[in-house]
A and B are shown apart, each in its own frame.
Chain A
């Protein structure tokens, strides 16, 4: 029996896995960044009021 040549599907599957996991981690990082930006805005508003 000849082993089928289907390496392109393996590459496609692992590339898709990498992209999905990278997007997941990027979502976490972007969410953390947004929280920091909101905190910064909050502090600026507070400083403006106190100043």
Chain B
């Protein structure tokens, strides 16, 4: 972590006050990964729109599944990081783990929003409704609200240690909703939601599944999309963590400035 002494170096430009020193190779790696992720997005989109083919039963709406399933995977990765960071904070009491936890929620939540929105958009032509009272759909909505509440509740706690402790425990417990959403159509036979990847319960009610395991093109496209969204989540998280480091440095500079006043 950078020191606060830079605040008295009057000749430095303002942006430099917030500069946190990182090893050069890490910055280069992040930059390279960001560029590769951006460019590979076009490969993924090409596969989704031109390589995978159009589903004979569902039509073009089926292509929404490539982003719907994959954004859930990316969001799950981010929320799993919240769990790891929460455990690490409770063990070490090092505030950097709290910074990682809040960063991962801020990355995971938009990805889960993408999952919710694309799922609803897919459901309209396939199920003839934007939303229905299905265990997985309701579970997904509850999960989204839980993580949105995480950010709201964090902001309501003034004391940094108490806030970090609360957030760590909350983040660990909230992950149960991610597991619930993943498992529910695999163990219950009364959900409308199909299982796209992996085994499912013998579910006569599920509507809108497709052959990801038997169609090589669909399988390859889904694999590329899953990988892309998970890598994109990591890249976003890395940038967000750096932003959080900068915010902490600004807080330290403010504290230093106020101390000089006192």
Partners in one complex: yes
Point out residues on A near B: beta carbons under 8 Å.
Answer: 1, 3-7, 9-10, 12-14, 16-17, 20-21, 23-25, 28, 31-32, 35-36, 38-40, 42-43, 45-47, 50
User: Count of B residues near A, CB < 8 Å?
Assistant: 40
Stretch at the interface among B23-31, B92-100, B192-200, B238-246: B238-246
Q: Does B80 contact A (CB under 8 A)?
A: no
**Is A13's CB under 8 angstroms from B64's CB?**
yes
From A10, A28, A32, A35, give the contact of B64 (CB < 8 A). A10
Segment 239-256 of B: residues with Cβ below 8 Å from A: 239-240, 243, 246-247, 250, 253-254
Question: Would you give the shortest CB distance from A46 to chain B, in whole angstroms?
Answer: 6
Q: How many Å from the CB of A25 to the closest CB on chain B?
A: 8
Interface of B is mostly: helix
B58 CB contacts on chain A under 8 angstroms: 4, 6
Do A17 and B114 touch across chains, with their CB atoms under 8 A apart?
Answer: yes
A10's nearest neighbour on chain B, judged by CB, is: B60
Tell me the bound Cα distance from A17 to B15 in angstroms.
32
Chain A residues with Cβ below 8 Å from B8 are 46
Establish whether residues B117 and A6, one from each chain, have CB atoms under 8 Å apart when the complex forms.
no
Bound complex: CA A10 to CA B62 (Å): 8
Indicate whether B131 reaches chain A with its CB closer than 8 angstroms: no
Q: How far is the CB of A26 from chain B (nearest CB, A)?
A: 11
